[in-house]
Structure 1
C-alpha cells in the first residue's frame, strides 16, 4: 500500500442484468464474444471484450440499479480512503474476492453501482 493518490486506470467490466440468460448468452456468442465462464444455465456469465469484460447477471435489477461499472485503479485501499475522505459511504470496506480482485462498491447519486478494483496478481 502506498500514500500516493490512486489513479483511475480503465473500465474493466460492465455488468448488466438479463431476464433470459440462455438467450443473452446465445446472442453475445453469435456476435463473436468469447465466454470466460458461466453459460446458458448460469446465474452469472462473463465474456472477454478486449482487455475488459461484459458480464451478464440473471434476474431483474434492484429498483435503482441497472448494472455495475468496474473501474480498475492503481490502489484500491488508497481509492477507498479518497472516497471516505470525500464524505462518501461505500457499501463495505475493500476485500479480496475469490475471482482474483481486491475491490469495494459505491453507489452514485442515482443508485448506479461503481466497483473500484485491482487484480490481486497482475
Structure 2
C-alpha cells in the first residue's frame, strides 16, 4: 500500500533563479543551493526537489503540485510582496479548500491550499 508522497522533483533551466523564487515563498533548503545541479526543499514531511535541465529540454503543462499551508492569505500576500503574480486570488472552493495558484519561473503550476473548517 502507498503511504505517502515523499517528494516531487521539478526541472529548472536556472537553478539560482528557481532557488530564489522558492526561498522567497518561505521554503527552507534541506540540500543543495543556487549553484547545485540538485536542490531539495522541506515541504512538511516531504520534499520539493529541483533538478537542473539543459535549455533544450522543454516541457508543457504537466499538472499541478498542491501544498497545504498554515495561512493561504498570508502566503498570497508574501508572494505579492516578493513581486510574483499569482494566477488566481485566494478563494474558497466548493470541494472544501481555500487556495490560490502561482506559476513558478519555469512554468510549473503550484497551488497553495488549506482545508476549510467544517461548520457542522
TM-score with structure 1 length normalisation? 0.48
TM-score with structure 2 length normalisation? 0.49
Structure with the higher strand share, 1 or 2: 1
